[in-house]
Amino acid sequence: MKKLVTSLILSTFLISCKNPKSNFERTNIVDRTIAYSKNEIKWIALQKNASIDGYTRIGDSIFGGEIACNIKPLKGIDIASFKVLPGTKYAKDKNNVYYPIDITCLDYKDCGVCYFSKIKLDQANSRKFKYLNKEYASDGKNVYFRGELIPNADGESFKVIDGPEFFFFATDKKHVYKHNEIFDEADSKTFHYKSEDKRNIIQEYEHKFIIGDETKEWEFIPPNTITRIKKENKKHADTISIDYLKHQKILDILKLLPKQTMTSWEWTQENRIKTVDFIEKNNFLVDSTKMFNNITYIKPNTLGIQVVDGFWTLSIYQLTSAKTLIITNDIVGDGKDINSFLFTENSFEKIEFNQLFGKGIKNLIKNQSEQCVLELEDNYFTFDYDFTDKNIVTFTSWGLEKDEHQNCFKGNVLEFELNTSEEKFELKSMFWKEN
């Protein structure tokens, strides 16, 4: 942990700073910390009369902390090679790496100052030094947290665990670290934090995080409270294993779909992206909110999702390497909202569904009498659509029965096969199926 060394010197016999503002407390110093921290993190050479992360250059000298009370510049700095990494408090030159490890504060009778009193990192190689994240840094061999060397940490295998504010965990091949201390109860090979865990609490005045490894879980309350808890069984009934690489094409399209394909429910593009990113990272998905936004099945060409009061499907059909036919089906009650698109170069072109299947359901009509035509129209809503096969689409009516309707129709099932060169489906067969 970062140490703050404070010296309070209040005795009246000490020599006072008669006019501290005349001693280096310049009004023309420009603090560049915020400006540089907004951009990509990179080492910045400190210009004259500029300050970054408390390092200030005046002439050819570098000061650390406040400048008052005749405070002296930092010793041993190579001004020609000195650079600061904005937003991290790390700095370096060709010889050393620096961090405000100790800050000393002095109070005189008529002035006060807090300055960097210990800044040099032990054993750090400035040429190989890199900032990792979350105040951890390494030169590939040694590892540092807030400027202090972590004893025996392995720089080659050291990884920082991504997490929210106040969350400082990392691993190497042997240990798990909280701040710069070993958390020896956890297995470094399987240690994890999952931001989507609904047991996490991130509020203004309350923070609680669930951490775990393959066999154990803990509740972490910043800064230092870690309590062992009973491991939650993650294998819910609605957990589905998803091989991201195998299903990457359909998952990438899922992220981009226009919202008109989900008229009966709402799944924002932002949340779809988060879902796919989680699958990419973990190769599975857990949704404990049953009956809402729960992926029921997934194949390379199709997926089905249980939504609030219905079911939704996405199916893709590869026409060429650069062109894909997309069909979505939003099923609520007896209603179906089917949308179809031609997808090229991340762009969607709307296509009429009926255009893809020629005469479509009307192929079933055997007798063109008015009664038979009206009978078919009355049964449009009884047709279900199966888009799960990569080449075949099946229309099936649960309202047409052979005994009752064979005089009007050739069957209650139609099968269409994809013709990639024509970019549509052609009728393959019609037959009766018992409902």
Domain ranges for the chain: 5-120, 150-229, 239-351, 355-431
pLDDT at 41: 84
Sequential DSSP letters for 370-420 = HHHHHHHHHTGGGEEEE--SSSEEEEEESS--HHHHTTTBS-SEEEEEEET
User: DSSP alpha helices (H): ranges in 134-264?
Assistant: 248-256
| Whole-Å CA distances, 326 to 274, 332, 349, 390 | 22, 20, 10, 11
User: Cα(32)–Cα(292) distance, rounded to whole angstroms?
Assistant: 48
User: Cα(65)–Cα(124) distance, rounded to whole angstroms?
Assistant: 22
Cα 385 to chain centroid distance, Å, stands at 35
The answer to whether 65 and 54 are in contact (CB under 8 A) is: yes
Tokens of 20: 């501290």
Q: Which residue has the tokens 């689409």?
A: 393
pLDDT at 205: 86
Amino acid at 160: V
The answer to whether 325 and 340 are in contact (CB under 8 A) is: yes
User: Cα(425)–Cα(226) distance, rounded to whole angstroms?
Assistant: 60
168: left (phi over 0), alpha (psi -120 to 50) or beta: beta
Task: Give which of 109, 194, 97 is closest to 148, Cα–Cα.
Answer: 97
83: left (phi over 0), alpha (psi -120 to 50) or beta: beta
Burial class (CB in 10 A: 0-12, 13-18, 19+), 430: middle
Task: Give which of 71, 132, 65 is closest to 99, Cα–Cα.
Answer: 65
pLDDT at 119: 97
User: Cα(204)–Cα(90) distance, rounded to whole angstroms?
Assistant: 28
pLDDT at 136: 97
Which H or E run contains 282? helix 269-282
Residues listed for the chain: 435
The phi, psi pair for 106, rounded to 5°, reads -120, 135
Contacts of 132 (CB under 8 A, 6+ apart): 138, 158, 160, 170
Tokens of 48: 């004259």
248-256 vs 269-282: helix axis angle to the nearest 10? Answer: 160
Per-residue pLDDT 10s for the chain (435 aa) are 444 333 333 333 334 444 444 444 566 899 999 988 887 789 999 999 999 999 999 999 999 999 988 899 999 999 999 999 999 999 999 999 999 999 999 988 888 899 999 999 999 999 999 999 999 999 999 999 999 999 999 999 999 999 998 999 999 999 999 999 999 999 999 999 998 889 999 988 899 999 999 889 999 999 999 999 988 655 444 567 889 999 999 999 999 999 999 988 888 899 899 889 988 988 888 765 444 457 888 999 999 988 766 789 999 999 999 999 999 999 876 578 999 999 999 999 999 999 999 999 999 999 999 999 999 999 998 999 999 999 999 999 999 999 999 999 999 999 999 999 999 999 999 999 987
